[in-house]
């Protein structure tokens, strides 16, 4: 496949990944509040670890008002498997207090409001906006940073700049799904150390691919009388020599 422009690679990646992955977060949640807290807890750990603790957490603290007044020690005991549990406990309690004090206990559906909450940056805000509210948002985590650079969609390592550059390449309605699918693809195929390029559905146009899909043979052109095909290339039969005439 000839080298494509960044926009063409982005749009092609959108379609290829759409055929493989659902546009869904792997964090278990039932509402925007649970999505917000689960996303904060997912920092520096796996979604599986988060999903192992959130049922007990939300059973005991079902909303922002309940979590805002929780005992930090009890929270730490529940979320310990996610790691960094001292900091995470303080963060989700502070975030819940801010929700109660400034937003009536409800998760706001605007970027400018979400990023004012403790523990919420643009990545978390974009996940919550896209998954919980259906508002287009392109979440940039370590997987998205790695894959967008490997695909040649950006040269930056700054999440805000990556978000800005990639969202200019694809329609807004694809932002959320593309981000979520890149995360899944980064976890399963395009891993950090040794990417599994032979299994990747993007390997025929990804600039960083270590393999290339076998190029299709050029179709043979229709043969004509006096034309034969040799090694896929047309050669014309020599014209017969004219008989020599006398002087």
Q: Where are the domains of the chain?
A: 6-19+142-199, 32-133
161 pLDDT more than 90: yes
Catalytic member of 123, 161, 204, 238: 123
246 pLDDT more than 60: no
On whether the CB atoms of residues 184 and 178 are closer than 8 A, the answer is no
Catalytic member of 8, 97, 141, 168: 141
Domain covering 6-19+142-199, topology: Endonuclease Iii, domain 2 (1.10.1670)
Domain covering 32-133, topology: Endonuclease III; domain 1 (1.10.340)
On whether the CB atoms of residues 45 and 52 are closer than 8 A, the answer is no
Residue 237 DSSP symbol:
P
| Ramachandran sector of residue 24 (left: φ over 0; alpha: ψ -120 to 50; beta: rest) | beta
* Cα three-residue angle 132-135-139, rounded to 5 degrees: 80
- pLDDT digit string (tens) for 118-128? 999 999 999 99
Residue 207 DSSP symbol:
T
217 pLDDT more than 60: no
- pLDDT digit string (tens) for 55-111? 999 999 999 999 999 999 999 999 999 999 999 999 999 999 999 999 999 999 999
Q: Which two tokens stand for residue 188?
A: 């399963």
Q: Which two tokens stand for residue 246?
A: 């006398």
> 10 Å Cβ neighbour count for 23?
16
d(CA 50, CA 37): 10
Q: What is the pLDDT of residue 245?
A: 46
Catalytic status, residue 123: yes
Containing H/E element for 227?
A: strand 227-230
Place of tokens 């050029």: 218
Share of the chain above pLDDT 90, in %: 81
Q: What is the mean pLDDT of residues 172-188?
A: 96
| Cross-strand partners of 234 | 229
Q: What is the pLDDT of residue 23?
A: 87
The two domains 6-19+142-199 and 32-133 share their CATH topology (first three levels equal): no
139 pLDDT more than 60: yes
236 vs 204 pLDDT, higher one: 204
Catalytic status, residue 158: no
């Amino acid at each position: 496949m000839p080298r494509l422009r960044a926009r063409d690679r982005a749009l092609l990646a959108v379609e290829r990944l759409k055929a493989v992955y659902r546009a869904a977060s792997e964090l278990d949640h039932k509402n925007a509040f649970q999505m917000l807290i689960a996303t904060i807890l997912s920092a520096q750990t796996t979604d599986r670890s988060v999903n192992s603790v959130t049922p007990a957490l939300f059973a005991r603290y079902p909303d922002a008002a309940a979590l805002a007044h929780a005992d930090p020690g009890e929270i730490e005991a529940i979320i310990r498997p996610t790691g960094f549990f001292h900091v995470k406990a303080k963060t989700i309690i502070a975030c819940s207090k801010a929700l109660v004090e400034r937003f009536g206990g409800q998760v706001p559906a605007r970027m400018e409001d979400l990023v004012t909450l403790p523990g919420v940056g643009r990545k978390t805000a974009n996940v919550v906006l896209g998954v919980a509210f259906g508002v287009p948002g392109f979440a940039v985590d370590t997987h998205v940073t790695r894959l967008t650079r490997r695909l040649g969609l950006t040269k930056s390592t700054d999440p805000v700049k990556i978000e800005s550059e990639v969202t200019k390449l694809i329609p807004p309605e694809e932002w959320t799904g593309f981000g979520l699918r890149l995360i899944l693809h980064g976890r399963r195929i395009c891993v950090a150390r040794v990417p599994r390029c032979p299994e990747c559905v993007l390997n025929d146009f990804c600039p960083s691919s270590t393999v290339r899909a076998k190029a299709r043979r050029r179709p043979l052109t229709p043969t004509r009388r006096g034309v034969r095909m040799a090694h896929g290339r047309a050669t014309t039969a020599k014209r017969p020599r004219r008989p020599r005439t006398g002087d």
